[in-house]
A and B are shown apart, each in its own frame.
Chain A
Amino acid sequence: MRIELNNSLDEIVTAMTALRAYADSVAVDEAARQAAALVLDELLTNIISYGLKGSQHDPIILELDIADKNLQIRITDGGIPFNPFDQPDPNLDLPLEQRQPGGLGIYLVKKYMDEYSYRYSDQQNIVTLRKKLAPAPDQAGKGQ
């Protein structure tokens, strides 16, 4: 499935609706759905709020696929080059009051996905994420 999203935070709802429709059509388990929803929210918020801020760009491309028993998510945008996975992780060993704000969203993306990668090609940021699908349809998402 491939959809185009405009540079507006409202489009995150569009992405969620597309994810739900896709997940229903290919029987994605609940844990993978929740993980996918979270990472889409985090990454699209970043791209729309910072990467594409204040200028005209081509639409953001969202692609959802099943590859090697993984739910694969690819997000392509023509904003300023930015590797989200290159940022330092937040220091979670500090108590809350000593922590610096920021970095939580990307950290969650790393934790929720089994694979994540970034490349910059043809003036496009391309983020690819993979989440393993539960092997059987019984009680998916109750693992760990």
Chain B
Amino acid sequence: MELKTTVTIDAEKSVARVALSGALNTDTAPDFEQDLQKVIAGGHQLTVLDMKDLEYISSAGLRVIFKAAKQTKAAGHRLAAANRKPHIDKVFEILKALPDMAVFANDRELDDYLDAMQKQVRGG
């Protein structure tokens, strides 16, 4: 199975959204890493991996995501995983990765977070 990624940047909110569709595994992880690294180099406050259409993930894909999470954290930014299907969620849970990533169960939670972030920016 292939992996398709679609990147959308909201410069005003400083949010990058990376939508993943297909399988993130040994086969697709190297290309995805290149794409994600480019996005992260943009220095956005928040990078959201939208997993709504992600069907499958293996450790090769998780390594890429964890590496990016480390990098964004070191830069004072966040990497988030949103819209995880139950079996994808289980993998993150087993690896105890969720506490270190801003996680959003759905788009609503993400929007709330973005609103709060905006208010913080305006307020401070």
A positions within 8 Å CB-CB of B: 9, 12-13, 34, 37-38, 41-42, 45, 49, 90, 92-93, 95-97, 99, 101, 104-105, 107-108, 111
Contacts and interface: CB of A to CB of B under 8 A. Distances in A.
Q: Which of B25, B60, B67, B70 has the most CB of A within 10 A?
A: B25
Interface of B: 25-27, 56, 58-60, 62-63, 66-67, 69-70, 73-74, 87, 91, 94-97, 99-101
A105 B87 CA distance: 16
A85 B10 CA distance: 45
B26 A96 contact: no
Q: What's the dominant secondary structure at chain B's contact region? A: helix
A38 B58 contact: yes
Contact of B94 (A37, A99, A108): A108
Contact of B63 (A9, A93, A95, A101): A101
Given A42-B59, A96-B101, A97-B100, 20 more contacts: A9-B27, A12-B26, A13-B27, A38-B56, A41-B58, A45-B58, A49-B26, A90-B95, A93-B96, A96-B66, A96-B73, A96-B97, A97-B69, A97-B70, A101-B67, A104-B59, A104-B63, A105-B58, A108-B59, A108-B94
Given A12-B27, A104-B95, A37 B56 contact: yes
Nearest to A94: B96
A41 B3 CA distance: 15
11 contacts: A9-B27, A38-B58, A42-B59, A45-B58, A92-B95, A96-B101, A97-B70, A97-B74, A97-B100, A101-B63, A108-B59
The 5 A-B residue pairs whose C-beta atoms are closest, nearest first, are A105-B59, A96-B100, A104-B59, A92-B96, A97-B70
A31 B4 CA distance: 24
Nearest to A9: B26
A107 B26 contact: no
